[in-house]
Amino acid sequence: MKHILLFLMIAFSTQGFSQCDAPSTIFASNVNYYNAEVNWNTTSGTYFYRIRFKIIGAPSWSYKNNIDSTLNKLILIDLLPLSDYIWQIKSYCDTTNTNTSSWSTTDTFTTITNTCPNTNVLFTSNINFNNAVANWDTINGANRYKIRYKILGTTLWSYLGPVYHPLDSITIPVLQQNTSYEWQVLTFHDSTNLLGSLWSESDTFTTTSFVYSPFNPLVTNTLSSLECSSPSEFSLTVTQSAYEPDIGTSRITSDGGYFDISSISMGDSVGFAIMTTTTQNITAVLRAGLIAGQNYAIINSYDSTGSLIGFFTIENDNGGIKVTTTTPNDNNDYTSGYISEVYLTNLFINPPNSGPLHFFIDIESELSDQIYDTDTVQIWCNTNNIIEQKYEKEILELYDLLGRKRQNKQKNKPILYMYDDGTVQRKIIIE
């Protein structure tokens, strides 16, 4: 009786595991520098497949698991170019990973192709202390390009792109001064990452020394009305050239007039501001923030998304006004150049008497440079309610948008005209 039971147990165990075969035909196709397609014949009774692959001679395998049993091919990605690979496949014939085949026979392939050429003409231009322009010859049939760069002699690359064909240059940003760099380009010949070329040979360049500009911000104050006791739009324009030290704090005071702070409430719109740089133009709304009585208020600046991007204070102080701005430290002591325009709408009230109105400018850079200046306008009072000056204004100076003095009027470019009455106008002569 015991012999019969043992025989039945062995027979049952044997019948529990059906034949599980590995695919017998395997081969690689569509081999590129960084990927390859592996193929096999499907086998009956298979729940899923598993693939392993490695560079020939490497100690460890990489795996692709749980491959659907209906598939007969798979793309292996992130391969090393110009390398010899070996791969195998096995079948899993149940859901418990118990009944499996052995690994199949091996197949090999080499990651090389002649369908993904790359450019071999590279050069660098517009090199300065913190950026440079990488240029290359384009390739027929390219989809896009990718750039990598690093300090010469180091191992850590930084990457730029994609740069879509037929563009053939890109700026390499945020470099260190007096430093040698190398860069390379890679060409993609389709919209995926499959048809990529090898990296090109390197081009090298060395950044220049940083030479800062003297701290010389141009500040102008303008009143829309010069009639005594009348409300006036108060505008303030600050212009800095590239590579000047950043402004740390600024104070604009006057010896007359006042801000009508008692007429506004928190949240009221009191004007607007415009910031123009070499790369962008930002328009902001100015709204009253904290108001502490009739002589002190904080003015907040909000961008088009409603985000707070800055603030300054206005005060009535010592028989005049005071406007104070403190710039947050951005860990970069130099500016790339800009024009900042602030317009307070009818918040300034002119002095009640005719005569000169002086504005005193005190600006300190983040490097402790100090600038003092005085701007003067003439306030007029008369019984005929004539609020505009009748004499012909004379041009004192011409400036471009970066604050650089110009000797003559330029055509088709915006120019700042500074007049002897303290006003500034921006004009473009179209030809």
- The domain defined by 218-385 folds into Immunoglobulin-like (2.60.40)
Query: How much is the pLDDT for 318?
Result: 92
Query: How much is the pLDDT for 386?
Result: 46
Q: Which long-range contacts (CB under 8 A, 24 or more apart) does 378-383 make?
A: 378/226, 378/354, 378/421, 378/422, 379/226, 379/227, 379/228, 379/256, 379/350, 379/351, 379/353, 379/354, 379/355, 380/226, 380/227, 380/228, 380/354, 381/227, 381/228, 381/229, 381/352, 381/353, 381/354
Percent of the chain with pLDDT over 90: 79
Q: Can you point out the beta strands (E) in 35-83?
A: 36-40, 48-55, 62-68, 73-76
For 176-215, the pLDDT digits (tens) are 999 999 999 999 999 999 999 999 999 999 999 999 899 9
Query: How much is the pLDDT for 10?
Result: 38
CA-to-CA distance for 94 and 45, rounded, in angstroms? 8
Do the first three CATH levels of 19-110 and 218-385 match, i.e. the same topology? yes
Query: How much is the pLDDT for 383?
Result: 52
Mean pLDDT of 90-107: 96
Please name the helix (run of DSSP H) or strand (run of DSSP E) that holds residue 410, with its range, or none. none
DSSP 356-375: EEEEEEEEEETT--EEEEEE
Output the CATH code of domain 19-110: 2.60.40.10
Query: How much is the pLDDT for 409?
Result: 66
Query: How much is the pLDDT for 12?
Result: 39
| Per-residue pLDDT at 385 exceeds 60 | no
CA-to-CA distance for 423 and 407, rounded, in angstroms? 19
Q: Can you point out the beta strands (E) in 113-268?
A: 122-125, 132-136, 144-151, 158-164, 169-172, 180-188, 203-206, 218-223, 231-240, 247-254, 258-259
For 323-366, the pLDDT digits (tens) are 999 987 777 888 989 999 999 999 999 999 999 999 999 999 99
Closest by Cα among 387, 377, 336 to 357: 377
| Per-residue pLDDT at 396 exceeds 80 | no
CA-to-CA distance for 288 and 295, rounded, in angstroms? 13
CA-to-CA distance for 319 and 256, rounded, in angstroms? 6
Q: Can you point out the beta strands (E) in 174-326?
A: 180-188, 203-206, 218-223, 231-240, 247-254, 258-259, 269-277, 281-291, 296-302, 308-317, 320-326
| Per-residue pLDDT at 397 exceeds 80 | no
- The residue written with tokens 């108060």 in the block is 234
Q: How far is residue 91 from each of residues 23, 219, 291, measured CA to CA in Å?
A: 7, 78, 77
Query: How much is the pLDDT for 304?
Result: 92
Give the pLDDT band of residue 5 (cuts 50, 70, 90): very low
Assess contact for 136 and 124: CB atoms under 8 A: no
Query: How much is the pLDDT for 9?
Result: 40
Minimum mean pLDDT among 113-127, 166-180, 235-249, 323-337: which range?
Answer: 323-337
Assess contact for 170 and 134: CB atoms under 8 A: yes
| Per-residue pLDDT at 11 exceeds 50 | no
Mean pLDDT of 156-181: 97
Instruction: Place domain 122-206 in its CATH homologous superfamily.
Output: Immunoglobulins (2.60.40.10)
Mean pLDDT of 88-111: 96
For 222-235, the pLDDT digits (tens) are 999 999 999 999 99
Give the pLDDT band of residue 7 (cuts 50, 70, 90): very low
Dihedral Cα 171, 172, 176, 178, nearest 10 deg? -70
Question: What is the CB neighbour count within 10 angstroms for residue 233?
Answer: 15
Question: What is the CB neighbour count within 10 angstroms for residue 155?
Answer: 6
For 268-308, the pLDDT digits (tens) are 999 999 999 988 899 999 999 999 999 999 999 999 999 99
Mean pLDDT of the chain: 90
Query: How much is the pLDDT for 64?
Result: 98
Closest by Cα among 10, 6, 90 to 52: 90
| Per-residue pLDDT at 408 exceeds 80 | no
Query: How much is the pLDDT for 90?
Result: 98
pTM reported for the whole predicted model:
0.62
Domain ranges of the chain: 19-110, 122-206, 218-385
The residue among 149 and 406 whose pLDDT is bigger is 149
- The residue written with tokens 């690093």 in the block is 150
Give the tokens for residue 112. Answer: 């090389």
Assess contact for 104 and 27: CB atoms under 8 A: no
**SS3 call for 163:** strand
CA-to-CA distance for 229 and 314, rounded, in angstroms? 19
